[in-house]
A and B are shown apart, each in its own frame.
Chain A
Amino acid sequence: MIRAVVADDDEMLRLLLYTALGRDNRFEVVGVAADGTEALEQVELQDPDLLLLDLAMPGCDGLEVLQQLGGRDRPAVVVMSGFTADEAAARAIELGAAGYIVKGTDIGVIGDRIQEMLASRS
């Protein structure tokens, strides 16, 4: 079971991703966060295997979260963002993300994509 934290500033998307991963028996959502600072707090508190991270968030954005997680025994981070530009994905990977999923990818395949990314990482 992959213990996951979902970080997204959009309340609806946060709830929908929580629901989708919650229905997938490979995942257990142990925390949610509405911004980068909360995401870091949840990582500290829950010590998850996975952080599903949005990029554009108020306060502390996704790239800052990746940067701040840099030196730690960090969870695998999969970035999920509406930015389709390759530069955004490249920057996230450069900062240590295990993968990048463009928002809008069918919700039914997100679990599979995450698992593939985690498998290729280990």
Chain B
Amino acid sequence: MAHVTAEAAGIAGLALLAGAVRGRSMGAAAGTLGLITCSAVLVHLSGGVIEAHFHFFIMVAVVALYQSWIPFGLALLYTVIHHGTLGVLAPGSVYNHQAALNAPWLWAAIHGGFVGGAALAGLRAWKQSEIEKERAEEAAARLWARVVRQREAARLNDTVVQKMVAAKYASQLGDMEMAAEAYAQALETAQGLVADMMADDSPLLEPGGLRALAPEPTTA
């Protein structure tokens, strides 16, 4: 009973540490050690039956959620050292077949290799999800830029273009006073729009930034 309590206390301690430490890496490391300790205790309590070892792979999948190399490396290292050391000191608490009992470090390496494989698969999945996430973010940014551009176009249409059309129609109908007023409003709204667009720390307002806006020379 005291033995089980000590093992459970070790897991609980690591869980508390994972929640208490500052920094993501330290928390992930403590969490990983706690999770793999769960697997080690389960294997120990089962008398080293092979099915209990499957728990290590489940924990590696859980560790993948940290999306970091450190927890994977720790999981691998822990598994090999645990299997090898306890395989020598108390073989019955880790293995239940003769080949492993005879060569605990060899079987520690075999188990470690499989855990490493699971870790690599997890890392690949993590990388893939990172790529997909970046692609989704880029697509969202492109879409947003398009929405902003179209809103600006609609605003331009609603203000400047309408007034220019009004000016044209007024002059075509002979109402020059209204035409002049429409031109003045078009100019005012155009200047307001440009001021709005340039307001947010425009890089164009650094020396040289407006050079590209100079009219191109006309050819004779």
Contacts and interface: CB of A to CB of B under 8 A. Distances in A.
Nearest to A85: B153
Q: How large is the interface on A (under 10, 10 to 19, 20 to 34, 35 or more residues)?
A: 10 to 19
A19 B158 CA distance: 21
Contacts of B169: 13, 16-17, 20, 107
Contacts, number: 46
Interface string A36-48: 0000000000000
A24 to B, nearest CB: 12
B154 interface: yes
Q: Name B's interface SS.
A: helix
Interface string A20-39: 10010000000000000000
A83 B181 CA distance: 23
A108 B168 CA distance: 11
B182 to A, nearest CB: 6
B168 A104 contact: yes
Contacts of B181: 12
A56 interface: yes
A103 B165 contact: yes
Interface in A62-88: 82-83
A94 interface: no
Contact of A16 (B154, B158, B170): B170
Interface string A97-111: 000000110111000
A104 B182 CA distance: 14
Which of B158, B165, B178 is the most central at the interface, judged by chain A CB atoms within 10 Å of its CB?
Answer: B165
B173 interface: yes
B96 interface: no
Contacts of B165: 13, 82, 103-104
Interface string B157-179: 11001111110111011010010
Contacts of A17: 169
B173 A107 contact: yes
Contacts of B178: 12, 16
Contacts of B162: 10, 13, 82, 103
A20 B173 CA distance: 7
A12 B173 contact: no
A13 to B, nearest CB: 5
B167 to A, nearest CB: 9
A88 B158 CA distance: 14
A12 B169 CA distance: 10
Given A82-B157, A82-B158, 16 more contacts: A10-B166, A12-B170, A12-B182, A13-B162, A16-B170, A19-B173, A23-B173, A56-B154, A56-B157, A82-B161, A82-B165, A103-B161, A103-B165, A104-B161, A104-B165, A106-B172
In the complex, the 4 A-B pairs of residues with the closest C-beta atoms, listed nearest first: A12-B166, A82-B161, A82-B157, A16-B169
